[in-house]
Amino acid sequence: TITGRVSFIAVAPGATPARAGVDIEAVPSDPDLAPINGHATADIRPDWTFSFSGINGPRRLEVTRTRPGWMVEYVRVRGIDVTDQPVVFGTAAQSVDDVEVVLTDRVTRILGRVRARDGRAAVGATAIVFAPTRDRWYAESRFMRAAPVGEDGRFSVEGLPSGLYYV
């Protein structure tokens, strides 16, 4: 069992996203050690507490959907940052009841332009943005995004953790 709460760091005091636009999942980090049926989605209550049950295997606790203008600041279990780390579940002793998921409205943004060799906009291309270290390359990583390139060759990617990226 996993229980916890969602809290917010916001520029505007008291600002929160709509609860219906937030999903927290326990995503298997090793498909050989977690059930094939995959993801478990938290039940987020009106007071922003949440719970999962029946979780087993190594999992990453991930915010898989947020409202526009919000992103993950961090996820902590027993005060330890596990934002991008697998946590092992399966026995009653591995249950946690103090998960803290913090969202922020201070959203990062990368803007760019893609051009073909002839200098024209690369219409129809996809910009792929990813962290340079391989340990950040996992399914549903928050360190990787793809964005369509518009008619003018521009793209925009939001919500990446601060750091270095390849595009």
Secondary structure (DSSP) of 69-102? T-EEEEEEETTEE-TTS-EEE-SGGG-EEEEEEE
Per the structure block, which two tokens stand in for 82? 């596990």
The mean pLDDT values, 10 residues at a time, for the chain of 167 residues are 92 79 88 66 93 88 90 95 90 89 94 94 95 90 95 95 95
On the CB side of 94, how many CA atoms lie within 13 Å of its CA? 13
Helix (H, G, I), strand (E, B) or coil at 12: coil
Q: Supply the pLDDT for residue 140.
A: 82
Helix (H, G, I), strand (E, B) or coil at 21: helix
**What is the value of pTM for the model shown?**
0.84
Q: Supply the pLDDT for residue 40.
A: 85
Q: Supply the pLDDT for residue 35.
A: 60
Task: Tell which residue, 60, 41, 62, has the closest CA to residue 50.
Answer: 41
**Sign of the CA dihedral with 54 first, then 86, 100, and 72 last:** negative
Q: Supply the pLDDT for residue 160.
A: 95
Q: Supply the pLDDT for residue 62.
A: 92
Q: Supply the pLDDT for residue 34.
A: 62
On the CB side of 80, how many CA atoms lie within 13 Å of its CA? 8
Q: Supply the pLDDT for residue 10.
A: 86
Q: Supply the pLDDT for residue 11.
A: 83
On the CB side of 20, how many CA atoms lie within 13 Å of its CA? 0
Dist CA 115 CA 134 (whole Å)? 27
Q: Supply the pLDDT for residue 105.
A: 93
Parallel, antiparallel or unpaired: strands 2-9 and 96-104: parallel
Report which residue type is found at 147. Answer: A
Q: Supply the pLDDT for residue 54.
A: 84
